[in-house]
Amino acid sequence: MEVAAVLVAAYVLGAIPTSYVAVYALTGRDIRSMGTGNPGTMNVLDSVGLRAALIVAAGDVTKGMAAVTLAYAAGLDDSVAVLAGMIAVLGHDYSVFLRLDGGNGTAAAFGALLALLPRETVLMAALGFTVWGLTRQRRIGGLVGLAAFVPLWLVSQEPDVKVVGSMVIVGFTLLKIIRFEGFQPARGGR
């Protein structure tokens, strides 16, 4: 029963439509009717601005971290914590509050990974931001950062369930980005 309650809470946490709430509060508009229509941080950055994007990113990262932290706080093991992180990302991507619409889940996945493998996640983020800064392509930086997780995890001393589970989270996130945005760098450094 405790596992089920944590997993339901993880979905609800992930499903909170941070971008919709923040953009509506700041502008009175629905983020899905702006820019690319994607209710994610990058569309908020492009359509509303940096302040709103930072609020959304912080909220989305927190959702992923909270789901994993909740599992550990309930005394559950790594496998449930990984599953809670996965479900939070699914909740973000397919939010019941947005009729199963959502962003790509990158920030929620980052939060879950940060709670599961903090050292590796910080290194991955540093690489991603470096590539973004050098290429001026957010998508390329994000994809390189996510892909860098594999070699980082291979040398990790963390339990296999956390490493493999984190790879699944990254894999799902990469597939969603590629499926909806493709491999082409976006115009304007997106």
For 137-159, the pLDDT digits (tens) are: 777 787 777 777 777 777 777 88
**Cα 16 to Cα 3: distance, rounded to the nearest angstrom:** 20
What are the domain boundaries of the chain? 2-189
Cβ density class 28-47: b for 16+ within 10 Å, e for less: eeebbebbbebbbbbbbbbb
Look at residue 184 in the predicted model and tell me its pLDDT: 54
Nearest to 53 by CA among 61, 42, 63: 42
How confident is the model over 23-29, as a mean pLDDT? Answer: 94
For a pLDDT cut of 90, what percent of the chain falls above it?
A: 49
Q: Which residue has the higher pLDDT, 81 or 175?
A: 81
- Identity of the amino acid at 38: N
Predicted confidence (pLDDT) at residue 78 exceeds the cutoff of 60: yes
CA 37 to chain centre: 18
Look at residue 92 in the predicted model and tell me its pLDDT: 93
How confident is the model over 99-120, as a mean pLDDT? Answer: 88
Look at residue 124 in the predicted model and tell me its pLDDT: 82
For 32-46, the pLDDT digits (tens) are: 999 988 888 888 998
For 85-103, the pLDDT digits (tens) are: 999 999 999 999 988 888 8
Per residue, the 3-state secondary structure of 81-140, as one string, reads HHHHHHHHHHHHHCEHHHCCECCCCHHHHHHHHHHHCHHHHHHHHHHHHHHHHHHCCHHH
For 41-63, the pLDDT digits (tens) are: 888 998 999 999 999 999 999 99
Please state, rounded to an integer, the average pLDDT across all residues of the chain. Answer: 86
Q: Mention every residue, 6+ apart, whose C-beta is less than 8 A from residue 123.
A: 148, 152
What is the pTM (predicted TM-score) of this model? Answer: 0.84
